[in-house]
Homo-oligomer: A and B are copies of this chain.
Amino acid sequence: MREITTTALGATGAYWLPSTAKRTDKDFDVIPQGGTLLFQGDSITDAGRDRNEEGPNTGLGGGYTFLATAQLIKALAARNISCYNRGISGNKVFQLSDRWQEDALSLAPDLLSILIGVNDYWHTLNEYDGTVEVYERDFRELLGRTKEQLPEVTLVIGEPFVVLEGSSVSGEQWMPDFRAYQKAARGIAREFDAGFIPYQSVFDEASNEVAPTYWTADGVHPTLAGSQLMAEAWLQTVNRM
C-alpha cells in the first residue's frame, strides 16, 4: 500500500492554487501516455453521471470523479488520457463483482480507482445481512480477479468514510462497527500494493475548519466543497505513487 499521511495531504491547509513550477515527466508517472483511467464505486462516485454517455471524459457526473478528471486532463493534456466513471448508486462490493467484466475489465484500465464500502455497512442497519467478513472476502476476490486479467493495472482504493458529527445518518453511531470496514479496505490496499486515500481523516480534518455539514449534506454524500476536497486528496495520492 502506498499511502500518504494526512499531514502530507494537508487536507485543510491544501490549496488549489496552481504552482508556476514547470510540470515534469515525473508527475503522475503511474498514468501512461494515452492511458485509461476508470473510477468505480457507489453513489459518491456515480454523482448523477449520464448513463447515456459512454465517455471518455464526458458524462462523469458532478462529484469527485468529474473534478479530478477536469484537473487531470488539463494538467496532462499532452498525455491524452481517457477517464471513465462507472460508479452506480447504492452499490455494495458484490454488486461491483456482478458487473465487473462489462464495467471494468473490458475497459482494460491502466489505473483503476475504487471507492466502495459505505453501503456494505449502512444497509446492514436495515435489511442487508452482509458482514465485514463478506465485504473483505468479496473485495479481495474482486481485486484478485482484476490482477489476474490486468496484471499491470495500478490500483487506487478510497477509504469508505462517514462524517461523524451533525449528520443526518448519525455517523458517530456507526463507530466502532464501521471502523472494521475501513480497516478491511486499508488492509486490502496494502495486500494489493494499491494507492490508498484516507478519506476519513481528510473529512475529519476538514471538519475542524468548518462545520462537517459544509463537506457533506447527510454525512455520506459530499457537497460540492466536499467533492473538491476528495478530488484534491485523490490527485495528491495518485501524483505521489
Contacts and interface: CB of A to CB of B under 8 A. Distances in A.
Among A12, A20, A67, A209: residue with most chain B CB under 10 A:
A20
Contacts of A125: none
Interface stretch (A99-107, A169-177, A185-193, A232-240): A232-240
A225 B67 contact: no
B16 A15 contact: no
Interface in A4-51: 10, 12-23, 27
A16 to B, nearest CB: 4
Contact of A78 (B17, B19, B67, B209): B209
B224 A58 contact: yes
A197 interface: no
B18 A16 contact: yes
A218 B54 CA distance: 20
A27 B206 CA distance: 19
Interface in A219-241: 223-225, 227-229, 231-232, 235-236, 239
A134 interface: no
A196 to B, nearest CB: 19
Count the copies: 2
B71 A62 contact: no
A80 interface: yes
A150 interface: no
Given A57-B225, A62-B62, A74-B228, A210 B80 contact: yes
A35 B74 CA distance: 29
Contacts of A62: 62, 66
A70 interface: yes
A77 B213 CA distance: 12
A73 interface: yes
A57 B239 CA distance: 28
A37 B197 CA distance: 32
A57 B231 CA distance: 17
Q: Which 7 A-B pairs have the closest CB atoms?
A: A74-B228, A70-B228, A16-B71, A14-B18, A73-B225, A77-B210, A15-B18
Given A15-B75, A67-B67, A77-B225, 7 more contacts: A13-B20, A16-B16, A19-B19, A66-B224, A70-B224, A73-B225, A80-B214
